[in-house]
Each structure stands twice: as C-alpha cells, then as structure tokens.
Amino acid sequence: YRHPSVSANLKRLSDSGVHIVPAETGELASGLSGEGRMAEPENILKFIKDYILDKAPLKGKKALVNAGPTYEPIDQVRFIGNRSSGKMGVAIAEAFAQQGAEVTLVLGPSHLKVKHRLIQVIPVETAQEMHTEMLHRYAQADIVVCSAAVADYAPEKAEKGKIKKGNPELNLKLLKTKDILQELGQKKQSQFLVGFALETDNLLKNAREKLERKNCDLIVANETNAENQAFHAENNQVIFVLPNNNTIDLGFKSKTEIAEELVQLIIQKRTQKK
Ligand code: CTP
C-alpha cells in the first residue's frame, strides 16, 4: 500500500476527482499485518453516506418535529387519547434527516421505531410535556413541523390510584390544553413553521383560517371521514395550503412520499425567502 506506484496511482485518481475510501490497518491477505486492508463494508457505507450528507441541502440546519397522539391521564391506569399513529410525523422526521438536517422528534406514545443517526427522539406523554419540550427547543430551530394530534382538552387533575366504580355516574372536568402551534406562531422569528389541519368539513376554508390564526408558513390540510381513516393508514390525501391563497393538491400518496414532497417544498420556500 505504501509502494510508490500505489501512492502515485492513488494521487492521480484523487487529482482527477475520485474520492478514496481510506484503507484500514490490520491483517492482510498476504498474512502480514499493516496498512492496506480493505475498509470494512460498514465503514465504506458510512463514508458514502457522510459524503452525500455533506452535500445535502439541509446540512447544518435544525428541524424540530412533533408527532403522535398525547395521553391525558384520568387516574393512574386510564387516559384520554386519540387514534394518531405518529406515522406521518416520523416520515417527515426521516425525510428531513435524508436531506441532512439535524432532527429532534418530540414523539407522543407510539410503537414506531425511529433509527437514524440524525434523529434524536424525545418521548413525551401529555400535551403539557409536548408543549414544554417544543418551546424549550424552538429558538434554536430553523424549521418546525407540528404534526402531532395534541389533545385539545385534558382532565383537570389525574386521580391518585385507580378510580373505583362505586358511583353510578362519573363526571370528568376537562380543561383546554395550550395550543403549541399557536404559541410557536406568536413567538416566530426566522423559523419556517408548518402546521397540520385535520378537518371533517370545509377543509380549505378551515385550513386557511388556521394558517392565518397560527401564523404558519404552510398548513398540511387533511380531510378525514368515515371512508378515509387517515390515522393508521400508510397513505393519505393532503393539500398543502400556502399564503396568498396558494394550494398544492397532492392527491392520494404514501405518507413517505408526502413527507418527501413537503420537505422539498420547504427547501424551495426557504430559499425563496432569503
Ligand atoms: N395543535 C397544537 N396544540 C394543540 C392543538 C393543536 O399544537 N393543543 C396543532 C396540531 O399539531 C396541528 C394544528 O394545531 O398542527 C391543528 O390541529 P387541529 O386538531 O386540526 O386543529 P385545532 O387547532 O385543534 O382546532 P379544531 O380542533 O377546532 O379544528
């Protein structure tokens, strides 16, 4: 490996723009030990990934995403939750990571496994915990996507232990939770802020109203009804709603495709903003 002809050939290759995965040191085919061993396949893969990520459009940018449902405790064993699976938000976190962003995913209770070295998962349970984690990280973020199905109401207090069924009636007092997206909209500086709108009626009208009220740069509008259950499905039908009455209808696509198109649109809009 140190022979002058090998060095000269390596130099000629790198001078002409070829990227060289460095050889490793260890036992060689000849039985000797030293420099010149083929790099381990996982190291070759890491080299290629690092090379691609180094050129990625969101390299060095911070994306903050929330996803999944929230669970609001009634007592020690029961909670109020919703049917969100978190799939859409996880796909968005992965699409950001593929474009080189450092991603923080604040994830409500979910069975999904997220494994990417650029994604840090912060598990939370309640709307209040999700609020704390999102607000805490907001100032450092460049792009923020709120895809979580945050509970709008939570029990005033969780009973200690398990509520026994002694009484014929049980009344729960629910209080409104904080609207995380709205608060982020009020505190917005240079962040690109994306919200979701899940509607059963008047999809575009309500989504436009949410875009304004929550001071977002983009709303992913999602209609749900009896035939089209958005929550656990692999596919979804969404419309991107932008300022000045602009809309992009994506039609029916997989959540992965929607996430990739969303991230591409964000990259494009952020470049235009500069
Ligand atoms: N959202 C939030 N905090 C809440 C409720 C909602 O951050 N407490 C965010 C969601 O993550 C989503 C957006 O607000 O990005 C819209 O959520 P949606 O459920 O469609 O609407 P709501 O604002 O809750 O209003 P409504 O239920 O009246 O349609």
Rounded to whole angstroms, how far apart are CA atoms 149 and 181? 11
Choose the residue to mutate in 126, 176, 181 for probing ligand 1, maximizing ligand atoms within 8 Å of C-beta: 181
What SS3 state is found at 270?
helix
Cβ–ligand 1 distance for 196 under 6 Å, the answer: yes
pLDDT in tens, the chain (274 residues): 989 999 999 999 999 999 999 999 999 999 999 999 999 999 999 999 888 888 999 999 999 999 999 999 999 999 999 999 999 999 999 999 999 999 999 999 999 999 899 999 999 999 999 999 999 999 999 999 999 999 999 999 999 999 999 999 999 999 999 999 999 999 999 999 999 999 989 999 999 999 999 999 999 999 886 555 566 678 899 999 999 999 999 999 999 999 999 999 999 999 887 6
DSSP state of 165: T
Q: Which atom of ligand 1 is nearest to the CA of 220?
A: 15
Q: Is 183 exposed, middle or buried (0-12, 13-18, 19+ CB in 10 A)?
A: middle
- Residue 219 near residue 207, CB atoms below 8 Å: yes
The answer to whether 255 touches 88, Cβ cutoff 8 Å, is: yes
- How far is Cα 108 from Cα 110, in angstroms, rounded to an integer? 6
